[in-house]
Structures are given as structure tokens and as C-alpha cells.
Structure 1
Amino acid sequence: MTLVRSNSSLKVQLTPMRPLEATLKPQRMGFGDPVDSPTETDLLIYPGETSEMILQIANITQGVIATEIELRGNFPRDWMRIHAEGPSIFPHQQMWCGIYFDVPADFFEGNATWSEGKQPPLDYTCAIYIYYGNPEQTARACEIIEFKAYIRPHSIYLNFLPALYREVDLVGRLLKIFEQTFEPSVWMLEAMWAYLDPLTAPSSLLPFLAHWVGWELIPSLDPKKQRQLIRNAVTLYRWRGTRRGLRFYLHLYTELPLDEDIPEEGQKHICIEEPFGPGFILGESHLGRETVLGGGRCYHFIVRLRQQYRGQIDEALVRQIIEQEKPTWCTYELYIQSS
């Protein structure tokens, strides 16, 4: 709702961006006090959210008017701020002014007055004083606009009820009690996925998640790598005993690239080769390269890791990983090189 006032010099328009919808006293049937209804300038304030009023001042005279805006009321000064376009208004021009209210988010929980057994005021009487006049003269006229500001808890449960229930202030305040009781459980259920994902779960929950998938934690391993290994435990189980599984495990631990786009095995950062050959064929084999006199070892493979900087890889831990992932009857060689 908008309030418009006009005199011989100014035309003032005040628009609260969050007007009050509900009545403030319960309805009495047939007798008693009349029901208070919100006025066109009343402002509703939710703690932790900015409430705004737009003040529009138009100069309807032939000369320049100097203005000064002051806000008075029984509210703390640090809750309010005013932003005006300038101190003067040219003839037949207008100026926009924003009036902002910011109440602390913990108003209902952290207010010291509550702990003392007292109830802090929730309703405030305010007034906007607009001083205006000729810039060359000291005498100024004053335009006063009064309004009330009401601090109320923001209840999202009202969104699930017909608009009729917004007309009674008590309904929203009553629903807020149930909202504060049940919503934390709802929020926890909505965020349950984050507790079950090793990448986002609290550190204290990692041992449980590791036990859940049958994964043995490595105390010396970085927590970030632990999370990746727990998250990919089922995949590692599926590929255990294969080159693909061992390469993926070493990738998670060493953070070396998989190099899946490189066709040649020897060019990869994690190189796993099996020294098999066609045997000694005259004219096709070269002694010492792909052919060894006496034959090679069966079930033997070679692992070469090209670390990006010296000391990046713990050789003892890599050997522990290989011993864990390889088939029991296999033998291997490990070489760690610096690129």
C-alpha cells in the first residue's frame, strides 16, 4: 500500500515494500475493543532480513528545494539506515530515498532482555521528518509521516495455509512455535545425503562409512584421499586383481593422472606392464629387448610411477597397496621416477 501526500511545494509518496497483513488484536464477537487493522504505511520486519520503505519526494515548484530527511522512533539507531539520492531537488524533478531496517537474526534467541525475564518491544512507533526549503534561506518547513514497524517471526508454514489465516497476527506467531520444533528435523533429513557421502560427511563419521563398505582406513593417509577411497571402495572391489583396478587405486592415492587418452602404456604416469613376448623367433625377435634367454617369469608385472616432484609418493605405502590389490601368486617390480 502507498501513502501519497501533497502540498504547495512537495508531493510525497511512501511505499512499504513489506506491508503488514494481519490484525494485531483477536476478534471479539459483539463487544470489546475494535480490531486493529494495518494502515497503509505499516512495515513488517523479519529478524535477519532487510525490510525496505521507498520514499519518493517530488518538487512541484519553480525553484530548487533543499531537503533533509530524519527518521525518529523508539527503536535502536543501528537498525536503520537511509540512502538518499542527494540533498536538493530541482524544479519539477523528484528524488528517491530508501529507508532500510535490519534487525539482528538472533533477536528472539539472543536478545539479552529475554534472559532477564523481560519481553523486548515488538511494536515500534516511527516518524519520517522531511525538512525542506529554499537553499538560500534558513527557515524550513517540515512534513511528517508517521508509521509503525512490527517485528514478527517469519513462519514458512503460513505458505501452506489459505490467505485468510494471514489476517490474524496470532496465527503466524503460533505456527512459528511448531516450525522451530519440527523444522530442524526436516532440515536434517533433507541434508542426510551429505552425511552419507564420504566427500561431505563430518570427519567423525568416516570410520562408520568405512566400516559400512568394509574398507580399512590407512592412518597415515591424507583425509582427503581417505574420503576418495571410501567413496570408490565398491568400484575398487569390483576391479580388484586387475590392471584397471590397481591403476585406479594408485590414481586415487598418488593423484597422478590416469592418462586414458594415451594409447602407449609406457607413456602413462601410472604405467603397469606385463613383460610378455612371442618368444624367440628368428628374424623377428631381438635378444635383450622382447626376448630373454631362459624365458621370463610367469605372472610378473612392472609398475612405473612418474611423480611430478620428488617426495610426492610414499614408496612403502605404494608397495602395501600393490600387495593388497594384486593376485597372491603374482610378483612385481616397482620403479618411481621423477618427470
Structure 2
Amino acid sequence: MSSQILHLQLTSMQLPNAIQTSAVGKGADDFSQIALSSQTTVRAGCDLVVHPPEPSEIVLQLENLGSRMLRLNVRVEGNFPAEWCRIGMEGYELAPRSRMDVVLYFQLPADFFETPALVAGQSLVLDYHSRIHVNYTEEGTGRQLVETAGLNLYVRPRSLYPKFLPAVYREVDFIGRFLKIFEQAFEPSVQTLDVFWAYLDPMTAPQTLLPFLAHWVAWPVDRRWTIERQRYLIRSAVELYRWRGTRRGLRLYIHLYTDLPLDEHVTREVDKHICIEEIRGEGFVLGNTRLGEDAMIGGGRPYHFIVRLRPQRPNQVDEQLVRHIIEQEKPAFCTYELYVDS
């Protein structure tokens, strides 16, 4: 009689490419001893494959074939942790001659294959079996009935290599799991080659690779700076070499170490946070020089420049470090003065 009241239909949103024959039979045997009422009807089972941590779904379609309202309660019993499954229902009442879809969401932990909780001498369980129970009560008569359906849950790692095989080999579950061993061994190297450009960029390279990249461009690694600052310096090393000995190169060098703005949009040199002024003069030219104003007899400093820094916050500029930078970058015949505004 129950089959004429509530009809069940299971639809898996992701079917396995291959199912072990023994696993399918085991799903019904494990739960054949579950105590059910005399009005219980056992429906056909369903298979679902889950790739941790990707979610998978099964749609349970319920159809009320009777003439009375039914109050529903859906539960899943199986040999897997209860937190793996969530049930989404549109409501708990099903009107006569109407349908309702119940969605079963399955999602496993991302570290399922990395940190399995195994007892000594026990292998990792990949095939799980359960039953879906739909308990419902007829309004008016108060009869309580149960409909059940079997469910086989197969946990498999996401594999790339079987898709390169002919279809006849993809139907064997063991071949897919066997190829996964080689995939885990070789795929990291393949992925590394696909993004090899990121390993050569100081902004995206792993931290352990930064000393090699710094040595590659002959850049000394200063442990006083953060990893982010070292990345910027290594990336800009070639440009600093290109402009070495010029005002632009010195300004860029100081900018990278102090984080002071370059102020490229500022026209006047004296208004910039990193101000580098060159002291120019034509020397003593008869007929064009005025003594005491634009001429000096003895004691002059040709090729002299003045560096003036305007910090934006306290302790932003290390004066000793800036002097070391200037001594390293300026031409040997030049002299300079350094002022750090407070």
C-alpha cells in the first residue's frame, strides 16, 4: 500500500566512471538488518562519487500519489560521519498529487587523503554505504509509514590521467586509482613548468628562492628589510644598474629603501620629497662673471650636489643607510651634502 502513497526517485548529480561489482552488492547487504516497520518498501539504490573537497549532490524526488496531506521527515543512515551530509528540503508537508525535491549535499574534508584516521593495520575506506529513510504520516488517518532507498558513496581523488585512456580502460576503477600514484609523483613538476614564470619573478617567487634571484642579479640581500621590500629591490636591480650615477637612479634607489614618494608629477625639484639639486656654475669667465656673486677664487667644489629628504613619518629615514647609498651610487669625483628635514 505504501508504494501507492509515496513514490521515491533518486538522481545522482555525479556518477562514477567505474564501480566495483563487489561494492555495489555490499551496499544492500550492510543495511539489510535495519529494523523497519511492516509497511516499509525498499526502493532501488543510487551511486554517487565524491572528490574531496568538491561538493556532490543527490536529488531525492518525492511524489504524493495519495489523496491526503503527508508530513515528511528525511534522514540518512550510513557508515560515514554524519557531518559529511546535509539535507535541504523545501518543506515538511507534501500536498496530494504533488512533488517535492529534497537535495542531499555531500562534502568531505579537503585533507581526507592526507590525514586519515586509521587504526593500525587498517586500510583507508573509500566505499561507503547507507540508506535514505523517508518517514511520513498521513493526515486524518495518522498512519506512519517509511520508504527507503539504498545509497552507495564512493570517495575518489580527482584524477587527470584516465581521460587520456580509451573508454574501455576508464571503466575499470582500479586503473584510475593506480594511475593516481603516478599523477601525484609527476603532476607537481608539470604544474611547476606551467607557472615557471612566477618562480622567476621576485614578486611571486617562493621566499626560499629569493637569495638565488638576488645572486642572479648580483644584489646584496639586506636582512634588515621585510620580505616585501626585498622583493621590490631585487626586481628593480637591473633598472638601478641602468641608471647608476644619475639623478634618476639615485632617487629611485632612495625611494626603494625609504618608501618616500618619487613625486614624478611635481615639476619643481625643491618641492619633491627626495630633492637632489646640482650646484652648477660656469667658473671664472672674463666679461661675464661678477666677483662675490657667481664666481669664487680657490676652494670651490665642482660636481657638487645636495640631497634633501622630507620624511612623511618619524623614523622613516635611516641617515647612515642613505649616506651609504649615496656613496655607493654617486660618481667618485662628486661631492654631496645630505639634509633630512624633521
Same fold (TM over 0.5): yes
**C-alpha spacing 1:309/1:280, structure 2 compared with 1 (3 Å):** farther
Give 1:294's aligned residue: 296
- Residue number among 169, 172, 175 corresponding to 2:173 in the alignment: 169
Instruction: Report the AA paired with residue 17 of structure 1.
Output: M
**C-alpha spacing 1:23/1:301, structure 2 compared with 1 (3 Å):** same
Q: Are residues 1:13 and 2:17 paired?
A: no
Note the 1:54-203 alignment, pairs <5 A: 54-113=59-118, 116-135=120-139, 138-203=142-207
In 1, Cα distance between equivalents of 2:228 and 2:256: 10
Provide, for residues 79-106 of structure 1, a one-character-per-residue CA deviation record: whole Å limited to 9, x for no partner: 2221222212244543332212223333
In 1, Cα distance between equivalents of 2:132 and 2:159: 29
Q: CA RMSD in A?
A: 3.0
Q: Percent identity?
A: 52
Residue 141 of structure 1: SS of its match in structure 2?
A: strand
What is the deviation of 1:294? 1.4
**C-alpha spacing 1:218/1:149, structure 2 compared with 1 (3 Å):** closer
**C-alpha spacing 1:275/1:13, structure 2 compared with 1 (3 Å):** same
Give 1:42's aligned residue: 47
Query: Which 5+ residue runs of structure 1 have no aligned equivalent?
Result: 1-5, 27-38
- Residue number among 188, 205, 209 corresponding to 1:205 in the alignment: 209
Residue 323 of structure 2: SS of its match in structure 1?
A: helix
Moved more, 240-249 or 297-306: 297-306
**C-alpha spacing 1:135/1:318, structure 2 compared with 1 (3 Å):** farther
Give 1:32's aligned residue: none
**C-alpha spacing 1:225/1:285, structure 2 compared with 1 (3 Å):** farther
Contact 1:25 1:169 in 2 (8 A): no
Residue 320 of structure 1: SS of its match in structure 2?
A: helix
What is the deviation of 1:275? 2.3
What is the deviation of 1:258? 1.2
- Residue number among 209, 227, 231 corresponding to 1:223 in the alignment: 227
Note the 1:232-243 alignment, pairs <5 A: 232-243=236-247
Give 1:310's aligned residue: 314
Q: TM-score, normalised by structure 2?
A: 0.81
In 1, Cα distance between equivalents of 2:282 and 2:208: 54
In 1, Cα distance between equivalents of 2:21 and 2:103: 30
Query: Which 5+ residue runs of structure 2 have no aligned equivalent?
Result: 23-43
Give 1:334's aligned residue: 338
Equivalent pairs counted in the alignment come to 316
Residue 171 of structure 1: SS of its match in structure 2?
A: helix
Provide, for residues 162-200 of structure 1, a one-character-per-residue CA deviation record: whole Å limited to 9, x for no partner: 444322212211211111221122233334434333223
Instruction: Report the AA paired with residue 306 of structure 1.
Output: R
Q: TM-score, normalised by structure 1?
A: 0.82
**C-alpha spacing 1:286/1:11, structure 2 compared with 1 (3 Å):** farther
In 1, Cα distance between equivalents of 2:237 and 2:274: 20
Residue 224 of structure 2: SS of its match in structure 1?
A: coil
Contact 2:283 2:295 in 1 (8 A): no
Contact 1:19 1:40 in 2 (8 A): no
